[in-house]
Amino acid sequence: MSALPRYEHSDEVQPLYPNVEIPVMVCWGENDTWIPVTKAYELTDALPGARLRTIPDAGHLVQEDAPAELLSALWEFRHDMP
């Protein structure tokens, strides 16, 4: 069995995720080859009440690959907030 990849920049703060008390929308490119989309599901599950929006045809730099789709997801998230 191979070891799971380690993501130093996010793994070190992961224990703090359950303490987040603000609304969170995780936006992730479905074709991210640097950090796989499975990590997006883990992140969303770890953050209380977080929502996930995967962006088709986008890689790691969603803002460059699919700016309109990202803006739409963020606008919808903001609009749905109380």
What is the pLDDT at residue 81? 83
pLDDT digits (tens, 9 = 90+) for 27-75: 999 999 999 999 999 999 999 999 999 999 999 999 999 999 999 999 9
pTM of the shown model: 0.82
Mean pLDDT of 20-26: 96
pLDDT of residue 1: 45
Of 58, 63, 28, nearest to 42 by C-alpha is: 28
Written as six digits, the tokens of 34 are 């640097």
DSSP class per residue in 28-62? EETT-SSS-HHHHHHHHHHSTT-EEEEETT--S-H
Note the pLDDT of residue 12: 82
Contacts of 4 (CB under 8 A, 6+ apart): none
